[in-house]
Amino acid sequence: MTRGDRRTLFRLELLRVARSPGAVLALALVVAAGAFAVWGGAQRTRQMTDALRVAEATHAVQFERVLGRYPGTTEAGETLYYLAFPAGTPPTAWSGLFQGQRDINPWNHRVRLLALEGQLYDAETGNPAALAAGPLDLGFVLIVLLPLVVILLTYDVRSGEEEMGTWSLVLAQAHSAREALAAKAGARALLIGLATGLLLLLGMTVAGAPPDRSAVSVIVVVALYVTVWFVGSLSVALRFRSSTTNAMILAGAWTVAVAAGPAVLNLVSAVRHPMPEALELTVLQREGYHASWDRPVGETMEQFYVDYPHLSEYDVPAEGFSWAWYYAMNHRGDQLARESANLYAERLRARESWARRWSVLLPSVATQLALDRVAGTDVSGHLRHVQAVRDYHERLKAHFHPLVFTNTTIEDTDWTEVPRFQPKTGVATSLLALGFPLVTLLGWLLLATGSLWLAIGSARPAHDVRDRRTEPPSRPVRHRARRGEWPWTP
C-alpha cells in the first residue's frame, strides 16, 4: 500500500468516526465539561484574588479606626490586641484549573499578635458533602472523564467490525489487518488529541497561564496520562474478545484506577498515618493561655524567655497586669501546642510521601499529584503557606515585642515599618521537579506499549482470511481456531 492509499484509508476512517453519533456526543460532552470546569476555575481564582484585595483594604480601614479611637499616649500593646495583619498566599495561574487541597485548607489568614495555633486553622465553614466531592476543575475532567471517552472510542476498534460483518470490507481497502487497525487507531488518536489539546489551550487562555516551563510540565503530564489510557485500551481491544468483554474489562480498569483505587489508598494512608485534630491544637493552645492567668507572672515569663532570651533584659511587673505578661501568656499557649503542631505537619508530609510512593500502582493518582505540584495546591503548598504564616508571626513579634516590653505609646511607634507578609511559592516549574509521579507515568506507558506490541503481534495478514474463505479448513487450522488465533470471522 502506497503512502497515498494510507492517507485515503486514514481520512475515510476519520470521517467514519466523526459521523458516529456516540463518538461525537462523547467528545462534545467532555469538551463542554472541560469548558465549564475552566470557567469555574476562573471564577474561583477571581474570588481568591478579590478576597486578598478585600483583606488588604479591611486592614487599612481597621488600622485607621483602631489608632484613631485611642489617644496617642495609649500603649501600643493595647492597640495590637485588636489589629489583624493580612497573610494570604495568592493563587497561581494553574490554581483554578487544578484545585488540589486549596478548597479544604485555609490559605488566607488575618494574623494577630496573640497565640498563633488557634489562628492557623480558622476557616470558613462549608458544606461537608460539597467539600468531600470537591470542585469540578479541569483536573477532574482530564483524569476522570477523558479516559471514559478513550474507552468509548477504542473498545470495539476491531471487534465491532467483526460483529457487524464489515471487517472484510475494511480489509478490501487495506493491504493488511495491521494497516487497517493503524488507520483506525490513528483516527481516534487524532480526535482524542484534538479534544485534549483544546481543553488545555482553553484552560491556559482563560487562566492566563504563560507558556513557560510549568505549561510544558502540564502538557507533558496530561499527554502521558492520556496516552497510557489510549495505548492500554488498544491493547485490550486488539485481543480476540467480543466488544462486550472489552467494554467490561476497560470499565473495570477505569473503576479500579480512577475510583476505587485512590479511595483505598486514601483509607490506608489515613489508618497508617492518623492525624491529630486541628481542634485539639486549638484546645491545647487555649488551655495553656487560660492556665497562665492562675500562675505567677515570674513562672510565665520564665517559660517565655526560653524562646526569647533577649527580652529578659526588660523588667516586667511581678504584680498587676502588663501587656508584656499578656502576650507572654499567649505564647505559652503556643508552647504547649507545639508538639502536636509539629506532629500534625509531620503526619501530613508522611501522607503525601506515602501517596507518592504508592502512586506507582495508579497513574491517575500520579497525574493528580503532578498537576497539583505544578499548581502549588498540593499538601506541600499548604505546608509552605503555614510555615510562611509562622514566619510572619515571628517577624511581627520581633518588631513589636520590644515596643510592648518598653511600654511604648502609639504616637512613639513607627507604624510604617510594620513587616508585611511574604508568601512562599516553591511550585514545580520543570519536569525534573515532578519526580516520582513523572517516572510512574513513564513506567505505565512502557507497560502499556509492551502490551500493545504483543496484541499487534498476534494479528494475521489479510490474505489468510481470503484463503480461509476459499479453502476447506485443515486440521492445523482447526487447531489454531481452537486456540483463538483467528482475529476475525469470514
The model carries a pTM of 0.84
Instruction: Please tell me the total count of domains within the chain.
Output: 2
Helix H or strand E encompassing 108? strand 108-111
Same domain as 478, residue 391: no
- Whether residue 230 is found in the same domain as residue 296: yes
Residues 468 and 448 in one domain: no
Give mean pLDDT, residues 423-440.
Answer: 78
Please tell me the predicted confidence (pLDDT) of residue 368: 94
Report how far residue 362's alpha carbon sits from residue 258's, in angstroms, rounded to the nearest whole number. Answer: 8
What mean pLDDT do residues 220-237 have? 95
pLDDT at 476 > cutoff 50: no
Average pLDDT over residues 150-177: 80
Q: How many CB atoms lie within 10 A of CB 407?
A: 14
Would you state the pLDDT for residue 97?
Answer: 93
Alpha-carbon span 421 to 423, nearest angstrom:
6
Q: How far is residue 230's CA from residue 294's CA, in Å, rounded to a whole number?
A: 68
Give the CA dihedral 335, 340, 345, 350, nearest 10 degrees. 150
Number of residues that this document lists for the chain: 490
Evaluate if residue 474 carries a pLDDT over 60: no
Name the band, by pLDDT with cuts 50, 70 and 90, for residue 490: very low
User: How confident is the model over 416-425, as a mean pLDDT?
Assistant: 89
- Does residue 164 sit in the same domain as residue 283? yes
Query: What's the pLDDT score for residue 132?
Result: 56
What is the rounded CA–CA span in Å between residue 368 and residue 438?
11
Assigned domain for 13 exists = no
**pLDDT on residue 471:** 41
* Apex 97 CA angle, 94 and 101, nearest 5: 85
Within a domain: residue 7? no
Q: Give the Cα separation of 72 and 447 in Å (integer).
A: 73
Cell digits for 74? 495609649
What's the rounded Cα separation, in Å, for the pair 390 and 331? 13
- Largest Cα–Cα separation, the chain: 111
Percentage above 70 pLDDT, the chain: 88
Q: DSSP letters along 3-66, please?
A: HHHHHHHHHHHHHHHHT-HHHHHHHHHHHHHHHHHHHHHHHHHHHHHHHHHHHHHHHHHHHHHH
The partner residues of 85 in beta bridges, in order of sequence, read 111
What is the CB neighbour count within 10 angstroms for residue 411?
A: 11
125 and 167 belong to one structural domain: yes
Does residue 214 lie within any of the structural domains? yes
Domain with 282, as residue range(s), is: 20-459
**Would you say residue 6 lies in a domain?**
no
Q: Are residues 180 and 51 in the same domain?
A: yes
Same domain for 221 and 241? yes
β-pair type (85-88, 108-111): antiparallel
Assess contact for 191 and 148: CB atoms under 8 A.
no
Residue 352 has pLDDT above 80, yes or no: yes
